[in-house]
Each structure stands twice: as structure tokens, then as C-alpha cells.
């Protein structure tokens, strides 16, 4: 069984291993000891902090295999991005060049640099070791964040976004970045991606073109990957699309991967989740639920069978499930039917 819980100081080695395994383009998990340590510290502080509105909180969680007690993945939420470290993106828009006299009309796409998602909440840092990507583990890693948002809405912004990893090859080369590098930069994609992950974004403002970029002037290879996701990111994108997320024309400035967004109250899992009272006992139900407790600092989430009595609004769960959720009979849990 996988159990999601807030990250702890003792999880550093496991987080570092996840960072190494995540590969190129995974900006939120750079292989950097200082940054990863700061992310753990920031998360511990955020989970213990009292707040009534989103600020700069960073919630990082890990997935633990209860059979081995091994950390096998991470998932996280940034409460409000772009305030301390700028959040850049390109917006795809259309420009029309026309002449009635010559009977000529050309429509072209342009990329405009901006900070339009400043203040939004961001779901991020979803990574599972390859051997754990089967079954419902990916769903749990993604949806547990929505259970937390449903339980503590005051901690998160109205708009929730997710930056999806764009196309790059096995060596970390991005066709989109190669064009930018050739014309505006003198560093490769992996270094630019690493610097961004460590918060060193000053080079973006210094070197990135300030005026809109005409898409038809990019190389064919760069044009072809705008708005596309990395092959390993496709399943995560499908999950988010089923939740109601959609791309509104914003893409990453390095690999042109899409940014998807959704109003927090319109996220399917938030709308369909509900709170019930717990009764701990053996049962024979075959209905599978995503479950979380209703605590913050001791947040727990997992997937398990539940017998739910809608008339009494009571959820019957197995003692082992209750133990992993840190709940007892009479407590409340949040449920989402799988």
C-alpha cells in the first residue's frame, strides 16, 4: 500500500534519489543539495503554519510503500507562485497582417513573454519511481492534492495551474530551446533548466527577447513541439484534463510544454469528494475510494476499499487503513470514489 504524507527531514536521501531519477526537464526537482534541503524546510514550515489565505507556502509530500517503508515518489502544491521568484510563461496569440488594397491577409501566431500566472496555486513535483507507476498509484499521487485543497480551500488560490514537461530527447535537448539558444542564449537547455529550478532566473529577464516572437520565424523543429508534452508526462496530462484542466494558450519558456489551468471550485475531484464519519471495522465492500484524513500537519492519503452508508454518512474502513490514515472511530475522513 502507498501512503501519502508530508515530507520530513529524514526523507532527504530519498528525495535526492527521486531528483536524480526524474531526468531532464523536471524543473521542480533539480539535483541540488541546498535547494532540496530548502524545499524540505519550506514544506515543514508550511504544514505547521497558520494562515487564512495563500502566501508563499510550499507543500511537498512523499509516497511511502508501507511494506518496505521506502519513499517511492513525491507530489506537491505551491500555494501562490511568482511573488518571491518570478514565474514566466509565453502566451500564444494571433496577429493579423492584412491589406485590402492588395487583397492580402496573413494570420500568424506570436509568443509574448509575461507573468500572467502570478498568484495562482500550482500543483507540481509529481514523480513516481518507474516500478510503482502501475495501478492506481499515479491517480493517488495526483488526486491527493485535490483532497487537500478541498479540505483547506483557504490555503489555495482560485486558479490552479500545472506546468507540463515539454518535448526533449534522452539527452535533455529541447528543439524549442535550441532555437532560443542559437539566437539569444549561449547556454544549453539542461543548464537553463537547472538554473530555473534553483531559483536563479535573472538570466531570463536579462537575455530573453522582450518583444513578441513570431512563431513562423522559428525553426520547423521548434514550431512542431509548441504545446506538446514529454512522452512520460502524457498520462499526467490526461488525468488533469479529466479533472477539468485545459491549456489557455500558455507554454513554458524553455521547452514550450503547455501550462494547464482550472478554477479550483471546478476541479472534478474537489467537487465530488465528501467528508464522512469513520467507523473502524472489518467489511466486505468492493468499492475503492481515494481517502484522506482531515488533518494538515499529519495529512495522510491512500487508496482502499470502503463500505459507505450514505444514510448515516458513515465510512467503514479496515483497521490497517485506519492505522495508516491516523484516524479512529468517530473521526472524519474525506472520500473520493475511484
24 and 149 housed in the same domain: yes
252 and 123 housed in the same domain: yes
**pLDDT surpasses 60 at 81:** yes
Q: Is residue 227 part of a domain?
A: yes
The predicted-structure confidence for 53-69, as pLDDT tens digits, reads as follows 999 999 999 999 999 99
299 and 324 housed in the same domain: yes
Domain CATH for 332: 2.40.40.20
Q: Of 79-88, 176-185, 303-312, which gets the smallest average pLDDT?
A: 176-185
For residue 144, give its domain range.
2-90+115-269
The predicted-structure confidence for 190-235, as pLDDT tens digits, reads as follows 666 666 655 555 566 666 777 899 999 999 999 999 999 998 889 8
* Distance between CA atoms of residues 83 and 80, nearest Å: 8
Of 24, 53, 230, 283, which is the active-site residue? 230
Q: Is residue 103 part of a domain?
A: no
Q: Which residues pair with 334 in a beta bridge?
A: 275, 292
Q: Is residue 205 part of a domain?
A: yes
Name 122's Cβ contacts closer than 8 Å, sequence gap at least 6.
77, 78, 81, 160, 161, 162, 163
71 and 209 housed in the same domain: yes
257 and 293 housed in the same domain: no
Q: Is residue 230 part of a domain?
A: yes
Sort strands 70-78 and 89-99 into parallel, antiparallel or unpaired.
Answer: unpaired
Q: Is residue 318 part of a domain?
A: yes
261 and 287 housed in the same domain: no
Q: Are 293 and 300 in contact (CB under 8 A)?
A: yes
Q: Is residue 97 part of a domain?
A: no
**pLDDT surpasses 90 at 256:** yes
**pLDDT surpasses 90 at 84:** no
Domain boundary (269, 288, 322) is at 269
> Total structural domains in the chain?
2
Q: Is residue 106 part of a domain?
A: no
311 and 183 housed in the same domain: no
Domain boundary (248, 269, 290) is at 269
Average pLDDT, the chain: 90
12 and 124 housed in the same domain: yes
Q: C-alpha cell of 12?
A: 532527504
Q: C-alpha cell of 115?
A: 507573468
- pLDDT reported for residue 73: 95
Q: Is residue 200 part of a domain?
A: yes
- pLDDT reported for residue 88: 87
pTM reported for the whole predicted model:
0.89
Domain CATH for 151: 3.40.630.30
* Distance between CA atoms of residues 95 and 109, nearest Å: 6
The predicted-structure confidence for 135-182, as pLDDT tens digits, reads as follows 999 999 999 999 999 999 999 999 999 999 899 888 778 899 888 777
**pLDDT surpasses 90 at 101:** no
Concerning whether 53 is annotated as a catalytic residue, the answer is no
* Distance between CA atoms of residues 69 and 302, nearest Å: 14
The predicted-structure confidence for 19-37, as pLDDT tens digits, reads as follows 888 865 566 777 788 889 9
261 and 280 housed in the same domain: no
Domain boundary (269, 285, 305) is at 269
Amino acid at each position: 500500500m502507498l501512503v501519502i504524507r508530508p515530507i520530513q527531514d529524514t526523507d532527504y536521501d530519498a528525495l535526492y534519489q527521486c531528483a536524480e531519477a526524474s531526468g531532464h526537464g523536471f524543473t521542480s526537482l533539480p539535483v541540488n543539495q541546498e535547494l532540496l534541503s530548502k524545499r524540505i524546510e519550506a514544506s515543514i514550515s508550511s504544514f505547521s503554519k497558520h494562515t487564512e489565505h495563500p502566501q508563499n507556502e510550499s507543500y511537498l509530500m512523499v509516497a511511502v510503500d508501507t511494506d518496505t517503508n521506502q519513499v517511492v515518489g513525491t507530489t506537491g502544491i505551491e500555494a501562490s507562485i511568482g511573488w518571491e521568484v518570478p514565474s514566466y510563461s509565453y502566451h500564444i496569440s494571433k496577429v493579423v497582417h492584412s491589406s485590402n488594397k492588395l487583397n492580402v491577409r496573413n494570420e500568424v501566431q506570436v509568443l509574448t513573454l509575461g507573468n500572467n500566472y502570478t498568484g495562482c496555486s500550482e500543483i507540481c513535483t509529481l514523480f513516481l519511481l518507474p516500478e510503482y507507476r502501475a495501478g492506481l498509484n499515479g491517480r493517488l499521487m495526483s488526486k491527493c492534492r485535490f483532497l487537500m485543497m478541498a479540505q483547506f480551500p483557504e490555503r489555495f488560490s482560485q486558479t490552479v495551474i500545472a506546468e507540463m514537461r515539454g518535448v526533449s530527447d534522452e539527452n535533455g535537448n529541447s528543439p524549442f530551446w535550441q532555437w532560443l539558444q542559437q539566437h539569444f542564449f549561449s547556454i544549453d537547455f539542461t543548464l537553463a533548466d537547472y538554473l530555473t529550478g534553483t531559483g536563479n532566473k535573472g538570466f531570463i529577464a536579462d537575455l530573453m527577447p522582450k518583444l513578441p516572437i513570431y512563431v513562423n520565424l522559428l525553426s520547423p523543429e521548434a514550431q512542431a513541439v509548441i504545446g506538446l508534452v514529454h512522452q512520460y508526462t502524457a498520462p499526467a496530462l490526461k488525468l488533469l484534463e479529466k479533472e477539468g484542466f485545459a491549456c489557455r494558450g500558455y507554454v513554458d519558456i524553455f521547452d514550450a510544454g503547455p501550462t494547464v489551468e482550472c478554477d479550483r471550485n471546478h476541479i472534478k475531484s474537489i467537487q465530488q469528494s465528501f467528508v464522512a464519519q469513520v467507523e473502524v471495522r472489518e467489511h466486505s465492500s468492493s468499492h475503492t475510494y481515494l481517502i484522506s484524513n482531515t488533518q494538515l500537519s499529519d495529512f495522510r492519503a491512500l487508496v482502499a476499499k470502503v463500505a459507505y452508508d450514505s444514510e448515516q454518512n458513515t465510512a467503514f474502513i479496515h483497521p490497517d487503513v485506519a492505522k495508516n490514515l491516523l484516524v479512529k472511530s468517530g473521526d472524519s475522513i474525506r472520500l473520493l470514489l475511484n
